[in-house]
């Protein structure tokens, strides 16, 4: 790929503390399959080694949407950390997990996930996502703008209960409040109130401004 894309690296948070590692992997596989259906990328999100997954998206908006949907698709006891990197990628061979790639987008994504973990260990305990721009992507959305969104998004999502997360995911996937209410067995008014109380409306509004909804 010679044009600029967004590489995505995902790492499960705290998976080693889970008692049943096979159950964790099944839950991750189901979440990845769901996200790849509703928010497909240039290369689907797929497990690589250990707790890590990788994928490639055409632009920042698509990567932001998919990364949020993945967090929302995981069961409540699991969470993930995400590094996004804008730039180019290059096929350099083949390995047991598929094509081997390198390039500024992957370097930036790796830097981003390391930075997310560093900041998460400091003041920003709810932070799970970070974005970096590779050296060959000067026209990519600026990192400070995208990361300001991610700081606020992750803080709000981190405080949501499971129903609020399902409702936010439903809206992101294009379902109406009436459809979501039927699935949740609540009124449409209750869905609307949840979107307001949980801060989901702010997440959705900010994503729309960035083209990520």
How is residue 150 written in tokens?
A: 């991610």
pLDDT in tens, 67-110: 999 999 998 888 999 999 999 998 776 665 566 777 899 999 99
pLDDT by residue (tens digit) across 173-186? 999 999 999 999 99
Confidence category of residue 2, pLDDT binned at 50, 70, 90? low
Q: What is the pLDDT of residues 28-74, one digit of tens each?
A: 999 999 999 999 999 999 998 878 999 999 999 999 999 999 999 99
Domains in the chain with CATH codes: 5-209 (3.30.70.270)
Its pTM stands at 0.92
């Amino acid at each position: 790929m010679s044009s600029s894309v967004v590489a995505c690296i995902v790492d499960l948070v705290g998976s080693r503390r889970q008692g049943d590692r096979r159950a964790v992997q099944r839950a991750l596989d189901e979440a990845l399959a769901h996200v790849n259906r509703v928010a497909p990328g240039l290369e689907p999100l797929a497990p690589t080694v250990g707790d890590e997954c990788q994928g490639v998206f055409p632009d920042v908006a698509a990567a932001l949407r998919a990364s949020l949907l993945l967090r929302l698709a995981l069961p409540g006891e699991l969470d993930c950390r995400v590094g996004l990197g804008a730039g180019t990628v290059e096929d350099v061979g083949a390995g047991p997990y598929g094509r081997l790639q390198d390039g500024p987008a992957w370097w930036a994504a790796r830097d981003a996930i390391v930075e997310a973990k560093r900041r998460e260990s400091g003041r920003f305990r709810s932070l799970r996502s970070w974005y970096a721009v590779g050296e060959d992507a000067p026209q990519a959305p600026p990192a400070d703008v995208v990361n300001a969104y991610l700081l606020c998004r992750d803080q709000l999502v981190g405080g949501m209960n499971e129903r609020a997360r399902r409702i936010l995911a439903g809206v992101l996937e294009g379902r109406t409040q009436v459809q979501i209410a039927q699935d949740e067995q609540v009124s449409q008014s209750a869905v609307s109130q949840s979107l307001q109380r949980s801060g989901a409306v702010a997440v959705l509004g900010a994503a729309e401004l960035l083209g990520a909804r």
